[in-house]
Amino acid sequence: MTNRPEGDARAARNERREAARRRAQRARTQQKRRQRGVRLGLQIGLGVVLLAAATIVTLVLVDSVKPAGPGPTSMSQGGITIGQDLEPVTAGASATPTAGATDGAGTVRISLYVDYLCPGCRAFEEANGEYIQDLVDSGAATVDIHPIAILSNRSQGTKYALRAANAAACVAEHSPNQFYAVNRALFAAQPEEGTPGLTDAELTDVVTGVDGLQDRSAIRECIADQDYAKWVDEQTTAVTEGDIPGSSLDEFPGTPLVLVNGQRYELTEPVTNDDFRTFVVSAAGATEATPTPTPSATPSPRPTKR
């Protein structure tokens, strides 16, 4: 057994304690560095999340106040005016009737505010669409058609009424000569309220299936991109708040709103052509207009599409 002086033993113990202290200090320093790194990472991550959230909120707010932009060139007042030969009235002619006004030379002016998901609108179209078509085609009347979307929340979240009105606006822009035919086709294909309605593809098929339609590719893109959806929404808000061109009404009574020379026609139950024809003759008589369509105004039976 080797005996070492007591001083040497004490020095050795001190060295071991010092070495242990240095190791402990290094360990504490490393732990603090790791904790600072974790805190810094959390702060950076939280900052990124907050920045992303702020960006999303900003984009949503910007999008929500984004102006609707111009509507179709043939719908400067929210509706398209169809005249003789079922062609739109030229830009030089008045497209905004005042209450009680005719369309020049004693021509009867019919104004329709319609929603393509509205059952009453379809019933009116089925009873009177062909009669109005004959009146307009012969030059006895003009018709202003204002597509709006007050029933956008009646199609299980798909906003069918808005999408259909947008499709009509697309036609007004790219193929206005076929607008009346497309308007009738949309009512013939009207889905039931409370269902998802037609898909965009089905809606496009209805519209592009109309004979004589022009610029089909532009119309397909317009429907897919919903080019006029915001504009339709804006027009719908204006009308429902009482801004109703061609009418002296203070409040919007709902769809269909039918005006003849500014006078409101209230639908009968059931909706019949005889009743509307009598109203048109009465309104025409009040302004010395004579609605005499050629050919016969008697509507022929039309198949109902769903």
The per-residue pLDDT for range 169-201, each reduced to its tens digit, is 999 999 999 999 999 999 999 999 999 999 999
Which CATH number characterizes residue 248's domain?
Answer: 3.40.30.10
Residue 246's pLDDT is what? 81
In a domain, 183, yes or no: yes
Which of 35-39, 98-102, 119-123 has the weakest average pLDDT? 98-102
pTM of the predicted structure, to 2 decimals: 0.71
- Where do we find the tokens 């302004």? 287
Does residue 51 sit in the same domain as residue 167? no
Is the residue at 62 inside a domain?
yes
Domain housing 259: 80-286
Nearest CA among 223, 239, 237, 240 for reference residue 166: 223
Confidence of residue 71 (pLDDT cuts 50, 70, 90): very high
From first CA to last CA, the distance across the chain in angstroms is 109
Reference 233, options 137, 165, 306; nearest CA is: 165
Q: How many domains does the chain have?
A: 2
pLDDT at 302 over 60: no
- Same domain for 256 and 136, yes or no, is yes
CA distances from 75 to 118, 180, 181, 235, 275 (A): 21, 13, 17, 11, 29
Residues 48 and 165 in one domain: no
